[in-house]
Amino acid sequence: MKVINDPVAIQKLKQAERLVVLTGAGVSAESGIPTFRGEEGLWKKLSPEELASFEAFYNNTAVVSEWYQHRREIIHNTEPNPGHHALAELQKLAPTFDLITQNVDGLHQRAGSSDVVELHGNIMENYCVNCNLQYSQEEFDDIFRHNPNHIPHCYCGGLIRPNVVWFGEALPEESIEKAYQASKQSDVFLSVGTSAQVSPASNLPRVAKQNNSYLIEINKTVTAISDIVDLHLEGLSGEILPMFLDDYKLLRNDK
Ligand code: OAD
């Protein structure tokens, strides 16, 4: 079944030199990783202020560290889904391709995507807040396992935290700069599985649009940007992205 039927979309995709994709939690939902918002979302059951801020981590290190270990375990036991795989395949076909993600789960990389711009960090990485020493997941696990209080300390005495962006924190400068540049220069911009409610990531589709990019959204529902997109494809990203890839292959061959 075709998903790209719109004649303008076909033309735009045929001509596009730069394809930029922004993904959010929805793209990993079919792998079994909960999203943040919506009925089943994490923030419906847990408070972001109590878990996803530096203050929370500092005041409640054990609880926050345990929660991140729990999420790592979930991610460790999941696999990339057909949506992740389709995006990795798309990267090989598009003349210039940028994948920007708000996800911290690393599933795009596990599916074979490269040069992924991670706006919110990577949950599998940890570092010391005092001396900045980086810890691999294995090293962190080892420290965590041997620490009955579940308060992970670096050799220097500082606390070890996950390499994710918490509320109130700035995004990694290099990543957000790259993301803005790519969005500005995109010919077609795809927003997939994000509620587009958290800035600055949510500004990227708007920046793309202001620079005359053709905006496509893939989401199981309407979102904060649905009214400005040129094409809204409603459904599951794990189903739509593989169809999108098939259509893209055909139309690129048919120049
Ligand atoms: P949200 O949880 O806000 O939104 C997930 C979006 O995915 C919603 O619009 C859903 O409709 C959609 N969705 C769910 N399952 C889907 C599926 N199978 N196929 C297609 N769409 C689906 O997640 P994000 O937009 O990624 O930040 O949230 C942005 C940021 O807010 C996160 O990175 C996180 C959170 O606070 C930090 O932790 C810094």
What token pair was written down for 80?
């990339």
Q: Based on the residue annotation, tell me whether 120 is a catalytic residue of this protein.
A: yes
Q: Which amino acid is at 229?
A: V
Element (H, E) at 226: none
Reply yes or no on whether the pLDDT at 125 is more than 70.
yes
What token pair was written down for 131?
């001396």
User: Which sign, positive or negative, has the C-alpha torsion 127, 159, 199, 243?
Assistant: positive
Residues of each domain in the chain carrying CATH 3.30.1600.10: 34-77+123-164
Looking at every residue in the chain, the average pLDDT score rounds to 95
CATH architecture label of 34-77+123-164? 2-Layer Sandwich (3.30)
pLDDT tens string 49-94: 788 999 999 999 999 999 999 999 999 999 999 999 999 999 999 9
Closest alpha carbon to 153 in 186, 131, 169, 123: 131
The residue whose C-alpha atom lies closest to atom 26 belonging to ligand 1 is 24
- Residue, of 46 and 221, whose pLDDT is higher: 221
121-128 vs 160-164, strand pairing mode: antiparallel
Residues of each domain in the chain carrying CATH 3.40.50.1220: 1-33+80-120+172-255
pLDDT tens string 191-219: 999 999 999 999 999 999 999 999 999 99
202 lines ligand 1 (CB under 6 A): no
Residue 214 CB neighbour total at 10 angstroms: 22
Residues 6+ positions from 95 with CB-CB distance below 8 Å: 16, 17, 18, 19
Out of 2.60.40.420, 3.40.50.720, 3.40.710.10, 3.40.50.1220, which CATH number does the structure's domain 1-33+80-120+172-255 have? 3.40.50.1220
User: How far is the centre of ligand 1, averaged over its atoms, from the C-alpha of 194 (Å)?
Assistant: 4
In the chain, the percentage of residues whose pLDDT exceeds 90 is 89
Helices (H), 111-185: 137-145, 173-185
Distance CA 127, CA 133 (A): 5
For ligand 1, what atom is nearest to the CA of residue 165? 39
241 lines ligand 1 (CB under 6 A): no
Determine the 3-state secondary structure of 200 from DSSP: coil
Reply yes or no on whether the pLDDT at 38 is more than 90.
no
What's the pLDDT score for residue 42? 81
User: How far is the centre of ligand 1, averaged over its atoms, from the C-alpha of 148 (Å)?
Assistant: 34
